[in-house]
Structure 1
Amino acid sequence: MDSLDGRKFKAVADTVGGEVEASTEFTYHEKDGEIWAEYAGGKISRGYLVGTRTGDTLDFRYTQLNTAGETNTGHCVSRIETLADGRLRLTEKWEWESRSGSGTSVVEEVG
């Protein structure tokens, strides 16, 4: 099980119904089953996520500030996959908690 600590990810495409775009970059941290990350880019000025990891599943809450000055929060469950080239991919099922909407997004490790 590969650690996410220090790994950087970007969305593979703009997220329909969400604010994550292909230009949004995430930096993940991991310690003792705890997961947290900072992210920004595109429509997002600043975002944070915090949660837990069990095997290849992440379960976290996120909060973010968009470029329009609005804050939003939500819940996400992600599945970790290893790509053929060794990079990691996170397939995410997310749902807003501060407004209506839900969807799926994919982020892949960069570098």
Structure 2
Amino acid sequence: MLPSLDGLTFAPTGRAETGEVDTATRFGYREQDGRIWASYRGGEIVHGHLVGTRVGDTLEFRYVQLNQAGETSSGRCVSELSRLADGRLRLDETWAWESREGSGTSAVEEILPARRETRTTY
């Protein structure tokens, strides 16, 4: 099993045809004892939440979000966690809206924290 998602930030690799999340959206994940949750925002999304469970490297959750047009939407998702060649984590997602028509696949990848540059003064 791959490591916990707790405290990690993820960003989409693109925008799905019937989705609203795009590369400007950021997901902040939390995880404890097989439970996962996240808040997300950015791009078309004003505010979003997801909540669900993790068994091994599979996540199952429901999501709800508010977009820039003031519309709320909800759906369900199953995601498979993997590790990229550079060591970051990736979630490959299969999702479906519950509040409207549409479904799709997408992926989010871990964003590593920016390194602080140190300057030496001589």
Shared fold per TM-score greater than 0.5 = yes
Give the deviation of 1:72 after TM superposition. 0.4
Give the deviation of 1:14 after TM superposition. 1.5
Give the deviation of 1:68 after TM superposition. 0.3
How do 1:1-111 residues align onto structure 2 when only pairs under 5 Å count? 1-111=2-112
Identity of aligned residues (%): 60
| Moved beyond 6 Å, runs of 4+ | none
Determine which structure has more spread, i.e. the larger CA radius of gyration. 2
TM-score for both structures, normalised by structure 2 = 0.90
TM-score for both structures, normalised by structure 1 = 0.98
Cα offsets for 1:48-91 (capped at 9, x unmatched): 00000000000000000000000000000000001111100000
Cα offsets for 1:84-111 (capped at 9, x unmatched): 1110000000000000000000000001
- CA distance in 2 between counterparts of 1:9 and 1:98 reads 24
- CA distance in 2 between counterparts of 1:46 and 1:15 reads 18
SS of residue matched to 2:24: coil
Structure 1 residue runs without a partner (length 5+):
none
